[in-house]
Amino acid sequence: MPSRRRRRTPSRARSTSRPAAAARPASASAPAEPMPSRATPARTTRIIPAHLVSNLRLYKYAGADKSLVSRYILQPYWTALVEWVPMWMAPNLVTLIGFAFIVANVLMTLWWSPDLVTPLPRWCYFVFGLGLFIYQSLDAIDGKQARRTGQSGPLGELFDHGCDALNTTMSVLMVAPALGYGQSPWLLVSLGCTLANFYLTTWEEYHTGVLYLGLISGPVEGILMIVAVLVSTGIFGPSMWHQPLLGLPLTSFDLTMAAGILVIFINLATSIQNVVRATRSLQPITGLAPFLVACATVASWAFASPWLLKEGGNVPLMLWITAWFGHLVGTIILAHVVKDERFPYLASWGNLRMAVLGAAVAVGGYLVGYGFGCSSCFVEDADADLVRCGALRWSRAPSKSGTSTSARPWRGSPTRGLRRA
């Protein structure tokens, strides 16, 4: 009986021996990326968890701007301004050019007033105001440029908000010589309020998915207020802020600081209300802990070691806070764009350890000195070393006012010349 088994034809053999990729659809023809092993982790997994990388494609910016100044005055100006930007210019380059003006302003401030108290030439205040306004304009049109060129994405928000976070601290540093609070507790008060406003706005965007700007916001009215302060200082001089008003025991400085703090606290309450309403829970409020711990640490450090706000300590402290806050906000924004459900509570702990150590040394030395009735000079030396290790190495060179300032690298002992007679 003949066998029913068919002999496989060469053509069928060739068809069955085709590679599996030929039978796949076009969308699956590309080889799959190898999974990162534990021995050689992928570069993206060092910053973004591997299972969240795909969420970058799902990111879409959402914002709500309630500012009347922005809607009726600045928006027409920004719309006309972006038309002058060439199509080949990347949106992040627009942001970077604006941020370069802020860096130039800070360098001018440290050149003319390294102690943040010495008055600057009046033309510097006009330059600062112009540079800050240019930064605001370019920061506002980078999103419009991204939509014009079809380059909207999560990297733009991360870079844009990162520059905004750095500018927040740098603006306080620029205004310090104008208002004359460069070596007073008002330096930390104004810095803490402005950073709190920016932090809660970022924290609110993480939980609600919307960047909400109220009737009075930092990126619009806040920057315009600083520009007005700088221009007024250039016209009337820094002394105008400390003259009594109409015979009252109040000065223009007092009213300006009170108005700014009041507006900031209103914005803070609005951000908390929006988050609680969107999440219907009080648990997100724990996300304020990293910022509050940092504020308490720096405040206790400055209280126990007054040298920290004096010449030689205030500028390194401000630069360290600038870098720390930029990193903290950047981690929250990154968690937002990749839709990470775990809030980055401990992301900034590595940069905060030095401040915790400095605060512990200062508070311990203060308590020892208070208990034994003696001054703990070693605390100033320890604080000086910690501040310089955390920011930059500053020197002491004679300034125009005859006092010692920071201008060249230190030589010899890092604490030489800190104690005053």
Residues 316, 333 contacting (CB under 8 angstroms): no
Q: Which of 337, 347, 290 is nearest to 160 (CA)?
A: 337
**Active-site option among 51, 161, 327, 336:** 161
Residues 297, 355 contacting (CB under 8 angstroms): yes
Task: Label each residue of the chain as H, E or C.
Answer: CCCCCCCCCHHHHHHHCCCHHHHCCHHHCCCCCCCCCCCCCCCHHHCCCHHHHHHHHHCCCCEEECCHHHHHHHHHHHHHHHCCCCCCCCHHHHHHHHHHHHHHHHHHHHHHCCCCCCCCCHHHHHHHHHHHHHHHHHHHHHHHHHHHHCCCCHHHHHHHHHHHHHHHHHHHHHHHHHHCCCCCCHHHHHHHHHHHHHHHHHHHHHHHCCEEECCCCHHHHHHHHHHHHHHHHHHHCHHHHHCECCCCCCEHHHHHHHHHHHHHHHHHHHHHHHHHHHHCCCHHHHHHHHHHHHHHHHHHHHHHCHHHHCCCCHHHHHHHHHHHHHHHHHHHHHHHHCCCCCCCCCCCHHHHHHHHHHHHHHHHHHHHHHHHCCCCHHHHHHHHHHHHHHCCCCCCEECCCCCEECCCCCCCCCCCCCCCC
161 is catalytic: yes
Find residue 211's DSSP bridge partners: 63
Find residue 63's DSSP bridge partners: 211
Angle at the Cα of 214 from the Cα atoms of 195 and 281, rounded to 5 degrees: 75
Q: Which of 132, 57, 79, 145 is nearest to 102 (CA)?
A: 132
Residues 199, 291 contacting (CB under 8 angstroms): yes
Residue 335, number of CB atoms within 10 A of its CB: 18
Residue 235, number of CB atoms within 10 A of its CB: 11
Residue numbers annotated as active site: 161
